[in-house]
Structure 1
Amino acid sequence: MRLTLLILLTLGVAAALGLGATWSTVERGLPVGGLVIGPWRADPGVGGLGANPYQRAALARRGEAPLAYGDGLAFVAATDQEGRPLSLACDYTLTGDMPAARLWTLAAFLPDGRRMANPLGRFAATSAEAVRMADRPASVILSREARAGDWLPLSGEGPFVLRLNLYETAVGTPLARSKPTLFTIARGACR
């Protein structure tokens, strides 16, 4: 009887540890792999046949359809250039030259993937509407107050993440010869 209880206890502990580790990996992702450019992180293989089971489970859990190699690449940033978590209480200026892509989109989300409340209904900035000055990099301002130029409103409290999608780009594919530069994320005033 004692041996049976010991076996059941061992199996229970093993199942709890295995399920806990799987849940943690699906929730947070694997700590290695992917493409990192400054604060931006992407996984080029997530939309293809090479995606691992944890990535597939995480995508299914979020209800997300990833971009495949031919479609583009999705980058996510949860910190600024200094490594500080992005906060809805602060202003941010994103500047930089984007790599060759047919289109880019930039949107702010809550950490769980939901869109944040936005009374103006402006949830994203795109290269199709970006104002560019000759010989100057693109610039997007994220703030609670309206700003001149390309402005993306923030609202609410707490942390947030940025998602930058590059459509029809060679970045992250075997064809890319070097790591490009993406938007730098500079923190401004905080309230």
Structure 2
Amino acid sequence: MRLVLWVLAVFALAASIGLGATWWTVANGLPATGLVIGPWRSEPDVGTLSADPYERAGAARRGEAPLSIGDGLAFMAATDDEGRPLEAACDYALEGALPPARLWTIAAFDPQGRRLSKPGEEPALTSANAARTVGAPLALTLSREPAPGNWMQLHGAGAFRLRLTFYDTALGSALQREIPGVLLSIKRGLCR
């Protein structure tokens, strides 16, 4: 009887470790895969047939319809350049050059995937409505308080994530993955 209980305990422990590791991987992604540029992370293969099961399960869990490489590439950032989690109570300055793309968008989401915008306001900044200076990098401010230039208002409290999506870009191609370049830096400012 003791042997049966011991075997059942070992199987229960193995099942809980295996299921726990699978849940964590689906929720957070594999640490060694994807395309990482500064605080920005992307899974370029998630919309292709070569996507691993964890990438597919993660996209399904988040309720996303992933883009194929030919359509575009989406990057997520949950931390600033120094590795601190993004907080809605803080101001952020984003600056940098963007790779060539037909269209790009940037939007803020809470950890559950809901947009951090109020009804009636622009939910995202896009290449169609961003103010750009010729020869200068894109500059964007995220804050609760209005700011000059490209500004996105933050709502709510706690952590949030940024999603930067490029449509019709070569950034996800095999050659660009080897030499990815840079994306927007995320610098924390004043926290209220």
Instruction: Give the TM-score normalised by the residue count of structure 2.
Output: 0.93
CA distance in 1: counterparts of 2:119 and 2:93, whole angstroms: 21
Deviation at 1:28, TM superposition (A): 1.6
Match of 2:61 in 1: 61
The question of whether the paired residues in 2 share the 8 Å contact of 1:44 and 1:73 is answered with yes
Confirm whether residue 109 of structure 1 aligns to residue 86 of structure 2. Answer: no
Displacement of 1:108 in angstroms is 0.4
Specify the alignment match of 2:20 in structure 1: 20
Match of 2:184 in 1: 183
Q: Offset of 1:107 from its aligned partner?
A: 0.3
> Alpha carbon RMSD of aligned pairs, Å?
1.5
TM-fit CA distance, 1:76? 0.6
Shift of 1:120: 4.8
Aligned equivalents of 2:97 and 2:126: distance in 1? 13
Where in structure 1 do 4 or more consecutive aligned residues deviate above 6 Å?
A: none
**Residue 55 of structure 2 corresponds to residue 32 of structure 1:** no
Higher alpha-carbon deviation: 178-187 or 98-107: 178-187
Give the TM-score, by structure 1 length. 0.93
1:183, distance to aligned residue in structure 2 (A) = 0.9
Amino acid at match of 1:8: L
Q: CA deviation at 1:148?
A: 2.0
What is the match of residue 76 of structure 2? 76
Please say if residues 142 and 151 of structure 1, whose CA atoms lie closer than 8 Å, have aligned partners that are also in contact.
yes
Report matched runs for 1:112-131 at 5 Å.
112-118=112-118, 120-131=120-131
Shift of 1:119: 5.3
Tell me the distance in 2 between the aligned counterparts of 1:170 and 1:67.
13
Match of 1:3 in 2: 3
Residue 181 of structure 1 aligns to which amino acid in structure 2?
V
Which whole-Å CA distance do the structure 1 matches of 2:38 and 2:51 have between them? 23
- Equivalent position SS for 2:95: strand
Q: Could you tell me the percent identity over the aligned residues? A: 57
Any unmatched runs of 5+ in structure 2?
Answer: none
Q: State the one-letter code of the partner of 1:137.
A: P
Name the counterpart of 2:93.
93
2:159 is aligned with 1:159? yes
**How far 1:121 sits from its partner (Å)?**
2.4
State the AA in 1 paired with 2:99.
P
Instruction: Specify the code of the residue in structure 2 equivalent to 1:73.
Output: L
Asked if the contact 2:117/2:123 (under 8 Å) is kept, the reply is no
In the TM superposition, residue 132 of structure 1 has moved relative to its aligned partner by: 0.8
Unpaired runs of at least 5, structure 1: none
CA offset digits 1:20-75 (Å, max 9, x no partner):
11111111211112111111111111111111111111111111111111011110
